[in-house]
Amino acid sequence: MTADSLRGIEGSIIFASRPTPDFTMTDPSQAPPPAEPFEALLAPVLDRAYALAYHLSRSRDDAEDLVQEAALQAFRAFHQFRPGTNFRAWYLHILTNCFFAQYRKRKREPRTLNIEDAEPLYLYSRTRELGMHEKTPDPASAVLGKLGEDQVHAAIQALPEEYRVVCALYFVEELAYQEIAGVLRCPVGTVRSRLHRGRKLLQKELWAAAREHGIVTAKAAPERVE
């Protein structure tokens, strides 16, 4: 049973977490599980979960509360976790639910971006217009490498929530579409379209940040002169 439930869609569903064969719980309705197996599963996922929680809540304090609250809820519901399945995805499902239920309203959502103009290859086109492609073999790194972490964090945090959540799960947790769909309990197609669009929006934010911080100068850009 454990081996089969591990084998997700083309092996892409499950990652790292080793099956825990010595962990056979036959009756899921049994009373409180021992703490140690729970903590052993939880500890390795906490740091990334904190990063995720930070991008979702956009606050370090909330991120810590969120991770902790999700841990408590997961502990209480641990009897529902099926050993051998993906603990991280299960925990992240609880964490994102906590966020939706409690934290999303604490901070005002960013202004609505114009979703329509999420054009493809936005950064590619902008850097090309500036002649950067002739000067360096990796123009994307030439721009993004100079952006500070805070500036990139600000860029993802500027995305509307539905895009931000999917992008954060994708970038921070490195989950595949199916896994994100499992965490959010939504169709894979929804994840895919939000992710693709979210990344395009993110590129616009990143470019705006690069200009704002003088990493690129837009003098050669024909579309707009300041």
Which residues are at the interface with another protein (CB under 8 A)? 12, 32, 35, 38-39, 42-43, 46-48, 50-51, 54-55, 64, 67-68, 71-72, 75-76, 120-121, 123-124, 127, 133, 138-141, 144-145, 147, 149, 152-153, 156, 168, 170-172, 174, 176-177, 192, 195-196, 199, 202-203, 206
- Nearest distance from C-beta of residue 205 to another protein, angstroms: 10
Cβ–Cβ contacts within 10 Å for residue 150, how many?
A: 9
Cα separation values, 56 from 50, 53, 98, 126, Å: 10, 5, 11, 28
Q: Which is nearer to another protein, 84 or 170 (CB)?
A: 170
Look-up: residue for tokens 């719980």?
Answer: 25
Q: Are 85 and 105 in contact (CB under 8 A)?
A: no
Torsion of CA 134, 136, 137, 143, to 10 degrees: -120
* Cα 221 from Cα 86, distance rounded (Å): 47
- Nearest distance from C-beta of residue 1 to another protein, angstroms: 27
Q: Are 151 and 209 in contact (CB under 8 A)?
A: yes
Q: Which is nearer to another protein, 2 or 93 (CB)?
A: 93
- Eight-class DSSP state of 2: H
- Nearest distance from C-beta of residue 212 to another protein, angstroms: 16
- Nearest distance from C-beta of residue 162 to another protein, angstroms: 17
- Nearest distance from C-beta of residue 150 to another protein, angstroms: 9
Q: Which is nearer to another protein, 39 or 109 (CB)?
A: 39
Q: Which is nearer to another protein, 21 or 193 (CB)?
A: 193
3-class SS at 101? helix
Q: Are 19 and 6 in contact (CB under 8 A)?
A: yes
Q: Which is nearer to another protein, 42 or 92 (CB)?
A: 42
